[in-house]
Amino acid sequence: MHISSSYNVYVMFQWNATSKSAGLGWSVKNTGRNSGFQATAELVASPLVAEGLAMKNAVKTCKELGLRQIRYKSDSTQLIKALNSKTEPPEIYGIVSDIRIECMEFETFYFVWTRERNIVADRLAKQALSRVSSGFITLL
Taken as a whole, the chain contains a residue count of 140
How much helix, strand and coil, in percent to the nearest 5, is found in the chain? 40, 35, 25
- The whole-number pLDDT of residue 135 equals 53
Q: In this structure, what CATH number is given to the domain that contains residue 94?
A: 3.30.420.10
Q: How many domains are contained in the chain?
A: 1
78-98 burial: b if 16+ Cβ within 10 Å, else e: bbbebbeeeebbeebeebbeb
CA separation for the pair 110, 127 (Å, rounded): 27
140, part of any domain: no
pTM score: 0.87
15, part of any domain: yes
Q: How confident is the model at residue 4 (pLDDT cuts 50, 70, 90)?
A: low
Q: Is the dihedral of CA 99, 36, 67, 74 positive or negative?
A: negative
> How far apart are the two ends of the chain, measured CA to CA in Å?
24
Q: Residues 43-102: pLDDT tens digits?
A: 999 999 999 999 999 999 999 999 999 999 999 999 999 999 988 899 999 999 999 999
139, part of any domain: no
